[in-house]
Chains A and B, each alone.
Chain A
Amino acid sequence: MREGMFRNLSGCAISGIISRSGKRFSGKSIIDSIASMHDRSNGLGGGFAGYGIYPEYKEYYAFHIFYDNNTAKKESEAFLEEHFDIINLSKIPTKKIPEITDEPLIWRYFVAPLPTKLADSQLDEREFVAKCVFKVNTTIDGAYIFSSGKNMGVFKAVGFPEDVGRFYRLEEYEGYCFTAHGRYPTNTPGWWGGAHPFALLDYSVVHNGEISSYDANRRAIEMYGYKCTLQTDTEVITYIIDYLHRKKGLTFGEICSVIAAPFWSTIEGKSQEEREELEFLRNAFASQLITGPFSILVGFEGGMMALNDRLKLRSMVIGEKDDFVYVASEEAAIRVIQNDLDKVWSPKGGEGVIITLEKGTI
């Protein structure tokens, strides 16, 4: 049984760190943070997203790809060459450790869409790239592009997250933002692509929860051209965020009012202007409302968003120190890397916390 053949429910741990000033720091601290929540995972999936990690290639899309075999690799590379200018390709550096086994072939490509292909497609560049990612993932057997943004990358595997971090030598990367995920699935996935973060373009999502609106969200988003092949909450949440932010042009604040919308009773108490806006968003994007427990961290180019479900059915704590902001499922996972905090607080259900880099920092 592979991820995508059944609906996989998971409990989890999440953690994220961002430097508001865009200061780049090593991936070691995010490993230490997620490691402290070892018991919230069960060794069946862990992963990280790092932002600002490829400054030398920041103009290019960084594709991270799992291949089951060389045939899949050949077929995918032929497809990539047909659609992209490949600037650089290499194996992603890993370290053999006994805790992580059965790894697929893991490759990285820095690419730019071929101008002629892009013009022919009549799509904007990001839509073109997203379409190509879907194409590879749904049509080439044994190939899976799990990271496709610029100046960012996802690193994930089956195993405990701290082992996954060591395996990928994450401490050797430096970025302005990292997120991490430890997974506690109720089924055995046994497939690396099913680990989290889940990413599309520069959007990455780590999520703890089980959303009850899943099939309503899935059937709605599939109408807009997305294909939910993994049957996981994180996948559908990522597509919803991509749809609302990239395709519809909503701000992250507005997105929070859609996916974890305030209750009608709360909306009634707002000023007329706010009420009209919230009612418009809830009505227009009713099918993108997410119910059931979740805490999510959304990474994007230049920032990070933390959000709980509207009833706050999952724990999530925020800590601040100087220009650093820390978000984790447990306060201990923040204190283990920064005990001297200026401020510690728990956002309310549905209260989005959006941290963006100060202007001109990247």
Chain B
Amino acid sequence: MAVDYLYPDYEIIRNYDRCIACRVCERQCANEAHEYLEDSNKLVSDDAKCVNCHRCVSLCPTRALKIVKTDHTFKENVNWSGKSIKEIYKQANSGGVLLSSMGNPENYPVYFDKILLNASQVTNPPIDPLREPMETKVFLGAKKVKIERDENGRLKKNLTPHVVLSMPIMFSAMSYGSISYNAHESLARAATEMGILYNTGEGGLHEDFYKYGPNTIVQVASGRFGVHKEYLNSAAAIEIKMGQGAKPGIGGHLPGKKIVGDISKTRMIPEGSDAISPAPHHDIYSIEDLRQLVYSLKEATGYTKPVIVKIAAVHNVSAIASGIARSGADIISIDGFRGGTGAAPTRIRDNVGIPIELALASVDKRLRDEGIRDNVSIVVGGSIRSSADIVKAVALGADCVYIGTAALLALGCHLCRTCQTGKCNWGIATQRADLVKRLNPNMGYKRLVNLLTAWQHEIKEMMGGMGINSIESLKGNRLMLRGVGLNEKELEILGIKYAGE
């Protein structure tokens, strides 16, 4: 029906003076947006198929291509945006739920951008990380200290197991299935080289990657795919996934057509069957059930590994976190409402959950007020975009951050937000062999190492400016933060002063 015709959001502009008809764009586009016309020796494009991933633009040898936002428009209407109108047409046509990928792109406040950092002047010297030691090493786990001594008076090293990181950054959970083998290999190798951890997500652990175990977090999610004793014992830590920032209250669904070959084997489910992760864990309907799973996993691994409980940042996140901190978990991971995803219902992604900055500030304060902050470490994600976001998160009270989208960007992701189609031209969110091989793990891992190296150096520069030479002295150090453009309530929740105060 004509009413269903939607003019594409983006147009492919080809400069025919530059185009040499080499057909690279045609070969590179898994969405088949480019077509070669033999008769006229000319390439043409179908804007409707373009997802704006820049693959063709990046590889065009003569820079003949660019993608622009269309100026085609509905009659202007503040209330009924073009986006709202188009979504109604789509749903009136399909009767289906709208799907989206990656983090919430809507215009909500980004609190990190309204927080500014301090630096030393006169009364206290700034420290130059190129001249002086500057420490970013982090331990994650419970710090319930009871001093005990042996018969010679020496301290007993009686802390429960910890994870040791060279810097307060980990790669967040992205399953094998939602991203490719080569993407996983890049993450695992980069984590190993840099002394941090990556996270398997809920898709199990490919047998080739057991060797990266000391730098791996294995996830136990509601579908329990790929979970077995060897899997649990191979890792540095175990994460129970209760929720995800992009889709709080929602499970997952990897369609049967993606459950092929190694993915089927790794997830331990038959080829072609849908992998459905239920919304809740069906053995966890309340906090006391969570405690049982935490201790089941500890029993299975002989109390040698910390257990992480990951939750989405929702309205009563601090009360939930307080419950988790008493459940035997060693680490709480909180995922903000801007966190990424391979696929989520659009309405959920864009309307459910709260900003990570507020969730973090509120959880850190609640746990301190209740005297149980030492029971757990706090890891936050969704969305951490730069080293400055990390410094601000740590100063608000985080022990460490998770990065997902930033890591994928380093691997070549251009945030076209169409992961759900499985046709990622950059070889990341796809299982098509011809696309996967476009991501060379030798180069991918190096780019991740570069990113982490750069961020670590920037973190040290910012810490040095503040006169702090070890990351633990930044943790929860909210006097190092000031707000701009925030109201009294926001400042109160963040626990920071206004700039100039």
Interface assignment of A132: CB less than 8 Å from any CB of chain B: no
Query: Once the chains bind, are B469 and A310 in contact (CB under 8 Å)?
Result: yes
Interface assignment of A263: CB less than 8 Å from any CB of chain B: yes
Query: In the complex, A273 Cα to B145 Cα: how many Å?
Result: 19
Interface assignment of B485: CB less than 8 Å from any CB of chain A: no
Chain B, range 126-160, C-beta contacts under 8 Å to A: 127, 132-133, 135, 137, 139, 143, 145, 147, 154-155, 157, 159
Task: From B117-125, B252-260, B261-269, B454-462, give the one contacting chain A.
Answer: B117-125
A209 neighbours in B (Cβ, 8 Å): 124
A280 neighbours in B (Cβ, 8 Å): 155, 157, 159
Query: In the complex, A276 Cα to B135 Cα: how many Å?
Result: 18
B127 neighbours in A (Cβ, 8 Å): 311
Minimum C-beta distance from A307 to chain B (A): 16
Interface bits A229-269 vs B (CB < 8 Å: 1, else 0): 00000000000000000001110001000000101110000
Minimum C-beta distance from A287 to chain B (A): 7
Query: Once the chains bind, are B125 and A276 in contact (CB under 8 Å)?
Result: no
Query: Once the chains bind, are A291 and B368 in contact (CB under 8 Å)?
Result: no
Chain A, range 277-313, C-beta contacts under 8 Å to B: 277, 280-287, 289-293, 310-311, 313
Chain A, range 213-235, C-beta contacts under 8 Å to B: 213-217, 219-220, 222-224
Interface assignment of A210: CB less than 8 Å from any CB of chain B: yes
Query: Once the chains bind, are A215 and B478 in contact (CB under 8 Å)?
Result: yes
Interface assignment of B302: CB less than 8 Å from any CB of chain A: no
Q: Which residue of B lies closest to A310 (CB)?
A: B469
Query: Once the chains bind, are A215 and B124 in contact (CB under 8 Å)?
Result: no
Chain A contact-residue range equals: 35 or more
B473 neighbours in A (Cβ, 8 Å): 212-213, 216-217, 289-292
Task: Knowing A264-B135, A265-B133, A283-B139 are in contact, say whether A223-B371 is a contact too (CB < 8 A).
Answer: yes
Chain B, range 151-171, C-beta contacts under 8 Å to A: 154-155, 157, 159, 162
Interface assignment of A7: CB less than 8 Å from any CB of chain B: yes
B135 neighbours in A (Cβ, 8 Å): 263-264
Q: Output the residue of A217, A223, A290 with the most chain B CB within 10 A.
A: A223
Interface assignment of A11: CB less than 8 Å from any CB of chain B: yes
B159 neighbours in A (Cβ, 8 Å): 280, 283-284
A287 neighbours in B (Cβ, 8 Å): 472, 475-476
Q: Output the residue of B125, B137, B477 with the most chain A CB within 10 A.
A: B477
Minimum C-beta distance from B241 to chain A (A): 27
Q: Which residue of B lies closest to A254 (CB)?
A: B155
Task: Knowing A263-B133, A265-B133 are in contact, say whether A212-B143 is a contact too (CB < 8 A).
Answer: no
B137 neighbours in A (Cβ, 8 Å): 264
Minimum C-beta distance from A316 to chain B (A): 16
Minimum C-beta distance from B283 to chain A (A): 33
Q: Which residue of A lies closest to B132 (CB)?
A: A311
Query: Once the chains bind, are A292 and B368 in contact (CB under 8 Å)?
Result: no
Query: In the complex, A30 Cα to B159 Cα: how many Å?
Result: 44
Query: Once the chains bind, are A213 and B124 in contact (CB under 8 Å)?
Result: no
30 sample A-B contacts, Cβ–Cβ < 8 Å, listed by A number: A9-B124, A186-B123, A212-B468, A212-B473, A213-B473, A214-B477, A215-B477, A215-B478, A215-B480, A216-B473, A216-B474, A216-B476, A224-B371, A248-B147, A264-B135, A276-B157, A277-B157, A280-B155, A280-B157, A283-B159, A287-B476, A291-B467, A291-B468, A291-B473, A292-B124, A292-B467, A292-B473, A310-B469, A311-B127, A313-B125
